[in-house]
Amino acid sequence: MITATNLSKVYGGTKVLNIEHLDIPEGESFGLVGNNGAGKTTFFSLLLDLIQPTAGNIFNHEITVSQSEDWKPFTASFIDESFLIGYLTPEEYFYFVGELRGANKADIDSFLTSFEDFFHGEILGRKKYLRDLSKGNQKKVGIVAALIGNPKVVILDEPFANLDPTTQIRLKKIIKELTENREVTVLISSHDLIHVTEVCERIVVLDKGEVVKDIKTSEATLSELERYFSGEVEVTQAEELS
Amino acid sequence: MFQRFLWLEWKFFFRSASLGKNIGLKIFLIFLALYFSVAFLALGIGLYPLLQETFPNQDPLQMVNRFVLLWLVFELGFRFMIQTLPVLDIKPLLNLPISRRKAVNFVLLKSMYSFFNFLPLFIIIPFGIFCINKGDYGTWNIIGWMIAMIATTQCVNFLNFLIKKKFTDNLKALIPAILAVVILGTLEYFKVFEISFWFGKMMNFLVLNPYLAVLPIVMLIILYKWNQLNLESKFYLDAGLKEKQKDADTKNFEWTKKFGVLAPFLQLDLKLIWRNKRPKTTIYMSLLLLGYGLFIYPGDMYGHPAMYVFVGVFMTGIFMINFGQFVPSWDASYYPMIMAQNIPLKDYLSSKAMLISSSVIVLAILSTPYIYFGWDILLINMVAALYNIGVNVPILLYSGSFNKKRIDLDKSPFMNYQGTGAAQWIVGIPLMFLPVLIFWLLNFFINFEAGLIALSGLGLLGLLLRASLMKYIAGVYQKRKYAMINGFKQTGE
């Protein structure tokens, strides 16, 4: 259960995030969409205590994230390349994360076998450092590392970007399996409306830091979202014309 | 087109993320530049009268000519280590309608205005004027000499870039050249074949026939062209990308397992040091500087025991200082991960403290042969090591909480001030001089033993309080966390 109350973040006088109240129940697959600058990454960074809220709080399983480090053992995330250690090989990186999350080498090895498909032979046993991998392959490593050690909360920022189509499809499968038992809360953000409607049971649309839509995903969600985003374009165009 | 390049440079400089924050460093560099300019100018003005006075029977110009070669070799070596080819970020230019030659010319011409090329002028010009006024050479002869010298300086400039471009990836290929220099140097030293004498003769010949100044100019043009062609051939995106992919080193440092919870961090730090250029160099530096005692102990001029304390703190703590002052900037590129992962800050810092303390112990052990210079020295070094571990390690880690500058691990450490801020300069004072001061006072007012006992006592006290000190420091890091994450994100010099 993740709760944000009166949460706001201000940069140089501009409010980039302002959420009055948001509850994400345990086991939910939660999708965050919005145009650039909507506040998606800001929200995730606040949730991971990488930036300080200007006001308000986020609670992760009743723990105030900016007050205590106790949420770290059950929360895993991949935001961007700054979550990867460039001078390690993928295996070493997985082992390192594993040790931080109480999984030994053998655990990790058996864990990784289930991702052989996902890696498509491009990650393991290549004797390459992470910094020498392509962007897409780096992303695969980051995503899989975020699943190590049975976390209760998984946060992925734009997991579909930079991935090839095959991997996108496999990733969708992985996320669906993850939330099947309703034990793991998955938070993802995406610019791809099709993907996000497919894997998330709830979608929140942010615009300039505000929650403008909170939808329980159904058949109609995709078209609703498409209408919203294209409508927004029309509105701004109309504004420019007038 | 050149104006546009200059405009880009201007913007790059004034819009770089760290301008302003780095002002202290800039002032320091400007001060250094001024200092060297004045020193060289003084030498340039004083050289002629000085030589005339010291060696009244010899012609100053001929004496100077004998040293020209030595100077050039020295200058080349110096430039190789310090001067870097001015860079123009070519990536955004590649798909724009700009001819390759223009961009390359811009880079090369810009390098001609490097400070290193101006320094010799401070000697060449005043000395030349003296020669014209006081010596019995014709004006044209000396002007020819001056032109030849200036052209030679520029030749060194371009030669340096050629060497850098061609050999930095493959330093082994330079061995024959270095060997040749060493052999010639040895022959010179034992007066078998004095190349500097022949080179001096050549320069003298040039003075008599000033039109020969054309030769260095021709050489300069050739070197320029060579550089130009070399750079043009590399003016592709993949020239930088297709570096040889070496197989990753998979040494795992399994023995760190003994350290329990700290093991993963220790492993990570060891890999960090082992696999990245800049931290790796700190190891070589530490071993090299272990020889510092050889310069101090034999001489009587620094014979005060307080000086020995300084040397002891320095030698056993050199890795501590070089590595420790940039904690946690070493981890800058993945600091958000360190903060979001399941890593208690205290463990993270304890592993750093452990690593640094071990380095002090290793260096202290390696310094034991200095017992040759007396028991006192050994004792002082051991006490200094204890003090380093007990007091200086926590001080360094504490000062690390003020670090918020990123370090790119792959850049060469020579003249690399990335990650250097005010904290690095300030922390040096308590680190090195506090123990010296404490020792000096006690040695002065009581005796030698009292000084050592005080230092070891402080070291032990620091060790006893280590746990609570680390807790306090972790709290400080926690508070500064957001500023650090934000600071480490800023790339650019």
DSSP, res B246 = P
Nearest to A50 among B245, B271, B336 (CB): B336
Neighbours of A216 (CB within 10 A): 9
**Integer angstrom CA distances of residue B459 from A139, B312, B317, B463:** 46, 14, 13, 6
- pLDDT band at B237, cuts 50/70/90? low
Instruction: Write down the pLDDT at residue B182.
Output: 83
Q: What's the rounded Cα separation, in Å, for the pair B185 and A184? A: 72
Q: In this predicted complex, what is the ipTM?
A: 0.86
Least confident of B7-16, B323-332, B384-393: B7-16
A223 or B12: whose pLDDT is higher? A223
* Domain-located, residue A147: no
CB atoms B336 and A83 under 8 Å: yes
Residue of A50, A105, A128 to mutate, interface with B, max B Cβ within 10 Å: A50
Omega of the bond leading into B86 within 30 degrees of 0 (cis): no
* Domain-located, residue A141: no
Token representation of residue B423: 């904290």
CB atoms B245 and A128 under 8 Å: yes
Chain A residues with beta carbon closer than 8 angstroms to that of B272:
87
B149 or B429: whose pLDDT is higher? B149
CB atoms A129 and B268 under 8 Å: no
Q: Which CATH number goes with the domain that contains A47?
A: 3.40.50.300
Closest residue, chain A, to B332 (C-alpha): A82
Q: What's the rounded Cα separation, in Å, for the pair A179 and A197? A: 14
B100 or B272: whose pLDDT is higher? B272
Task: Please tell me if residue A92 touches chain B, with a CB cutoff of 8 Å.
Answer: yes
Shortest Cα distance, chain B CAs vs residue A143, angstroms = 13
A213-216 long-range contacts (CB < 8 A, ≥24 apart) are none
Task: Please tell me if residue A85 touches chain B, with a CB cutoff of 8 Å.
Answer: yes
Confidence check: pLDDT of B171 > 80: no
CB atoms B339 and A75 under 8 Å: no
Contact (Cβ atoms closer than 8 angstroms) between residue A110 and residue A64: no
Instruction: Write down the pLDDT at residue B168.
Output: 61
Query: Containing domain of residue A70, as a range?
Result: 2-80+152-241
Shortest Cα distance, chain B CAs vs residue A179, angstroms = 21
* Domain-located, residue A13: yes
Q: What is the mean pLDDT of residues B172-199?
A: 79
Instruction: Write down the pLDDT at residue A140.
Output: 93
For B452, residues 6+ apart whose C-beta sits below 8 A from its C-beta are: B379, B380, B383, B439
B89 or B464: whose pLDDT is higher? B464
Residue A60's DSSP bridge partners are A2, A63
Task: Identify residue A238 by its one-letter amino acid code.
Answer: A
Q: What is the mean pLDDT of residues B110-130?
A: 83
Name the average pLDDT for chain B: 81
Q: What's the rounded Cα separation, in Å, for the pair B249 and B258? A: 22
Instruction: Write down the pLDDT at residue B300.
Output: 62
Q: What's the rounded Cα separation, in Å, for the pair A229 and A206? A: 11
CB atoms A83 and B334 under 8 Å: yes
**Integer angstrom CA distances of residue B207 from B56, B61, B134, B250, B280:** 20, 9, 15, 61, 48
For B410, residues 6+ apart whose C-beta sits below 8 A from its C-beta are: B276, B277, B278
The SS3 call for residue B125 is helix
Q: For residue B246, how far is the Cα from the chain centroid?
A: 27
- pLDDT band at B462, cuts 50/70/90? very high
- pLDDT band at B303, cuts 50/70/90? low
Q: How many residues does chain A have?
A: 242
Chain A residues with beta carbon closer than 8 angstroms to that of B248:
89, 127-129
CB atoms B340 and A88 under 8 Å: no
Residue of B244, B272, B331, B341 to mutate, interface with A, max A Cβ within 10 Å: B341
Q: Which of A188, A186, A187, A194 shows the shortest CA–CA distance to A225? A: A194
B88 or B109: whose pLDDT is higher? B109
Q: What is the pLDDT along chain A (242 residues), one digit of tens a residue?
A: 899 999 999 988 888 999 999 999 999 999 999 988 889 999 999 999 999 999 999 999 999 998 888 899 999 999 988 899 988 999 999 999 998 888 888 999 999 998 988 888 888 888 888 988 888 999 999 999 999 988 999 999 999 988 999 999 999 999 998 888 888 999 999 988 999 999 999 999 999 899 998 999 988 888 999 988 888 655 555 554 54
- pLDDT band at B457, cuts 50/70/90? very high
Instruction: Write down the pLDDT at residue B90.
Output: 65
Q: What's the rounded Cα separation, in Å, for the pair B64 and B203? A: 10
Contact (Cβ atoms closer than 8 angstroms) between residue B305 and residue B439: yes
Confidence check: pLDDT of B328 > 70: yes
* Domain-located, residue A17: yes
Q: What's the rounded Cα separation, in Å, for the pair A168 and B354? A: 43
* Domain-located, residue A123: no
For B300, residues 6+ apart whose C-beta sits below 8 A from its C-beta are: none
Q: Which of A81, A169, A163 shows the shortest CA–CA distance to A130? A: A81
Instruction: Write down the pLDDT at residue B401.
Output: 87
Shortest Cα distance, chain A CAs vs residue B347, angstroms = 11
Residue of B334, B485, B491 to mutate, interface with A, max A Cβ within 10 Å: B334
Q: What is the mean pLDDT of residues B57-69?
A: 81
* Domain-located, residue A9: yes
Q: What's the rounded Cα separation, in Å, for the pair A211 and A196? A: 17
* Domain-located, residue A54: yes
* Domain-located, residue A27: yes
DSSP, res B242 = -
Residue A155's DSSP bridge partners are A77, A187
Q: What's the rounded Cα separation, in Å, for the pair B121 and B156? A: 14
Contact (Cβ atoms closer than 8 angstroms) between residue A201 and residue A186: no
**Integer angstrom CA distances of residue B306 from A72, B130, B266, B381, B428:** 49, 46, 35, 12, 17
Instruction: Write down the pLDDT at residue A169.
Output: 92
Neighbours of B27 (CB within 10 A): 10
**Percent of chain B topping pLDDT 70:** 85
Closest residue, chain A, to B266 (C-alpha): A96
Q: At what angle do helices B23-54 and B115-134 cross, to 10 degrees?
A: 20
Tell whether the torsion through CA atoms of B391, B392, B395 and B400 is positive or negative. Answer: negative
Confidence check: pLDDT of B302 > 70: no
Instruction: Write down the pLDDT at residue B454.
Output: 92
Confidence check: pLDDT of B195 > 90: no
**Among B277-291, B393-407, B448-462, the range of highest mean pLDDT:** B448-462
- pLDDT band at B245, cuts 50/70/90? low
Report the number of distinct structural domains present in chain A: 1
The SS3 call for residue B484 is helix
Instruction: Report the relative pairing of strands A29-33 and A185-189 from DSSP bridges.
Output: parallel
Contact (Cβ atoms closer than 8 angstroms) between residue B413 and residue B281: yes
Instruction: Write down the pLDDT at residue B210.
Output: 82
Instruction: Write down the pLDDT at residue B493.
Output: 47
Q: What is the mean pLDDT of residues B177-181?
A: 81
Q: At what angle do helices B375-387 and B305-324 cross, to 10 degrees?
A: 40
Residue A7's DSSP bridge partners are A19
Residue B209's DSSP bridge partners are none
Q: What's the rounded Cα separation, in Å, for the pair B273 and B327? A: 12
